[in-house]
């Protein structure tokens, strides 16, 4: 879990609140399940802003 009190998260909250632009997260799915590969701070910031749906690009590892 990301630290939701970090400067980066707070900065992203302000930027997203001002622009309403959300860059998609990159979520990977492997044999152990899904995890955020890129965008953990964005996810935390969006959660603090009360967003329920977050755009994401999903990458599925089919090598196993």
Average pLDDT, the chain: 87
Give me the percent of the chain exceeding a pLDDT of 70. Answer: 91
Q: How far apart are CA 8 and CA 39, in angstroms?
A: 11
pLDDT at residue 29 tops 80: yes
Global pTM value: 0.76
Query: What is the pLDDT, as a whole number, of residue 4?
Result: 55
pLDDT at residue 3 tops 60: no
Query: What is the pLDDT, as a whole number, of residue 8?
Result: 84
Mean pLDDT along residues 44-54: 90
Q: Which two tokens stand for residue 11?
A: 């900065």
């Amino acid at each position: 879990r990301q630290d939701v009190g970090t400067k980066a998260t707070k900065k992203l909250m302000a930027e997203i609140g001002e622009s309403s632009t959300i860059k998609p997260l990159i979520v990977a799915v492997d044999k152990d399940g899904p995890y955020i590969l890129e965008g953990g701070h964005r996810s935390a910031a969006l959660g603090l802003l009360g967003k329920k749906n977050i755009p994401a690009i999903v990458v599925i590892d089919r090598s196993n």
